[in-house]
Amino acid sequence: MPLSEDEQRILTEIEQQLYATDPQLAHQVASATPYSQPARIVRWAAVGIVLSMGLILVLLQVHFLLAFVVGFGALVLCGNYLVGALRQIGRVSIQQVSESMRAAGLRDFLSGASDGFRTRRRPDRDSDDDTDT
């Protein structure tokens, strides 16, 4: 549902006031996406996994049980964070696709596909008609 002109004007005024009073917050809000936080978690989890593997190798020289408990525990914890962040990214992606399909409408989507099929088939029929004449 589109906004009225008054609502758009009010939102523009609020945005200008935000930029005037707190430009750093306005920049953070403008640059934030639904993927920002999960992407940050993925990066840190990947670093944690690499460090955990190094920790396992170092602790194996001390005692295998210590390597298993501490190193493998850290590895599992980082892997858990990684999987959770990737699932969150997947959920947001699926939600965006479903919203775009809802906005375009399934009928429009399917009619666009059938129109493309018809335009591909028409030149063949036209060329057959020309050869018969």
pLDDT in tens, 6-47: 888 898 888 888 888 888 877 777 777 777 888 899 999 999
Q: How many domains does the chain have?
A: 1
Q: Is residue 108 part of a domain?
A: yes
Q: Is residue 126 part of a domain?
A: yes
pLDDT in tens, 91-109: 888 887 777 777 766 666 6
Residues ≥6 apart with Cβ < 8 Å to 26: 15, 18, 19
The rounded distance, in Å, linking the Cα atoms of 44 and 85 is 11
Q: Is residue 115 part of a domain?
A: yes
Q: Is residue 76 part of a domain?
A: yes
Q: Residue 118 belongs to what domain range?
A: 36-132
pLDDT in tens, 70-91: 999 999 999 999 999 999 988 8
